[in-house]
Each structure stands twice: as C-alpha cells, then as structure tokens.
Amino acid sequence: MTINILVTGANGFVGSRLMAVDLPRTSSIRLRGALRSGKTSPNKLANTVCIDAIGPTTSWIEALTGMNVVVHLAARVHILDEGSAEVISEYRFVNVQGTLNLARQAAAAGVHRFIFLSSIKVNGEETFAGQAFSEDSLPNPSDPYGISKYEAEEGLKTICEQTGMEYVIIRPPLIYGPGVKANYQNLIQLVKRGIPIPLGSVSNKRSMLALDNLINFIILAVDDPRAANQTFLLSDGQDLSSAELVVKIARALHVVPRLWSIPICFLRMMGFAAGRRAVVHRLLGSLQVDSSKARKLLNWTPLIGVDEGISRAVAPMLTRSKRANDDKACS
C-alpha cells in the first residue's frame, strides 16, 4: 500500500531535507510538499502545492486530497518584536489556530496519522544536574513559542480523540545540520574566523538532534503502529557542554579552537547587561533530553553520531570556502 504524505513547510530547514530524502526505489512512501504561495522550493520539487498563509481559515482541501499522513513542520518560530503585547497572539494564530485548522481538515479528509513537530520548550528551558526531560516530565513552557506549541499539542490530542485520527508528537531540542541558522550558525562563523570564544570554563550539558536523525525518526513514525498517539523526546544521545561543542565544530572546520576561560558569573553579568538573557541561558545552562522511550518502544537508534552531524552541518561552509579559494587562485 502506498503511503501518501503531505509535508507542510516543505521549503524550510527540516522540510527541505525531508523532501530530499533518498528513499529506496521499493519504498511505498510518496511525498507532497506544501509551500506558502509565492515561495519557492530550494530543491525545485516537482510534487508541491501552494497554500495561503497558515492560519485558522487556510484551505487545505487541494493539499490533502489523497493523503494518508500529514507531517506538520510549518510554524511561526520568530517574531521581530518579541516584546510586543500581541506576541503571544501572533504565535497562537499560526502555531495553535493554524495547526488545529489543518488537523480538523486532515481528519475530515480521511488522513490516518498526523505527525506534529513540537518543541522541547514545551517541557521548559533548563534541566539540572542528574536530571533530564522525558515524556513523563510535566509541561512547563515559559515563552510564547513554547506555550503555543503546548496548546497546539493539547488541541491536536482532542481532535484525534474525537475523530479517530492518530497523532505522533515530536519534541526535539536544538536541531542542527546543513542550512542551520540563528545562534548555531553564528557560533560556526565565530569558530571559523578564529575569534576567541569565552566559554572555556562552561561545563553545562545540552542535548541536540542532528537533522538527519530527526528525518530518520519521522520516516519511522509514518507507519509504525507502536507510534500511534505517542509523544517522543529525541536527541542524538551524546550531550555536550558549550565548550565541547566549540571544540567539535573547530575540528570539523579543520581549525584550532580558541577558547577563553572566564568566570561564569562574569559571563552572565555581561550577557544580561547586553540584553541577551535568553542566549546566556542557552550557552551556560543545561538542557538534557532522555530519548529512551523512542529507543525502547520503536527500536530507534540515531542514524549518525554528533561528530558526523556537526561535520554535515559545517560542510556547506567548507564548500563555499573552497570555491572562494579556487576562484582566487584562478583570478
């Protein structure tokens, strides 16, 4: 039986990788990507459909025709003015109302399973020594994005209970891989340029998830009956301190890591004074994830390790550097 899968956010960081996955010729999986109107796919995908901006009134009828599974990756991740009074409403418009609108239409269209990419932020922002978030941890979202993802999870469960559609909820920590943006990309740039990074004394522990490990799990969750109506926390299984991450990035870039050791109290003071409180928490605090449920229930193991994941994340930068050097040599 052919499994037809609608992938929302098909031109995004995760979606474009999923749409480009090298499935065996014998695979029964067929992917259809949903793109925002006016957006283009980086992979020039043939099987795509355009939709309006995601919200409570978006029509998904054309996109859902003939689909058995939905993998919902599209989300509102950043808002320019995070301090605005309307910020939570803006997150809810896309991440809650938009998700639940899609879920209702999916159930009405006969979709069998709805896979929802949530966030570890549903559990919270930090763990403490000897502890790790698991599926049994009480939700404790503290920012508008995390709150919107938690509300979407709860609404999705209700819809599935009412309609019989199955859900699979995935709460990943930091996802990294080719095309990664934001703070992870900034860190790669700093390491590559040889700029001293004052994290040598940081001994925190943070879980991460390589993009290809996430894609591997999503494909597993598409039709495994054991995944039905389950929530999963995922990680690579090797937690790193911020200092260890810098060293591994430097090794992948073939450069010498330049780490300075500065007392953590001073780092916190400098970060808070610069208005980068959230960044400071991520660089200095711990956030560990226990992914044993996925390993035991679904027999899942990460496809690649952290070193390989980091190598794949920095590979595009190495390629660009090589091309730039080749161009200089030829000029």
Which residues are designated catalytic? 145
Give the whole-angstrom CA distance, residue 160 versus residue 143: 26
The number of beta carbons lying within 10 Å of the beta carbon of residue 156 is 23
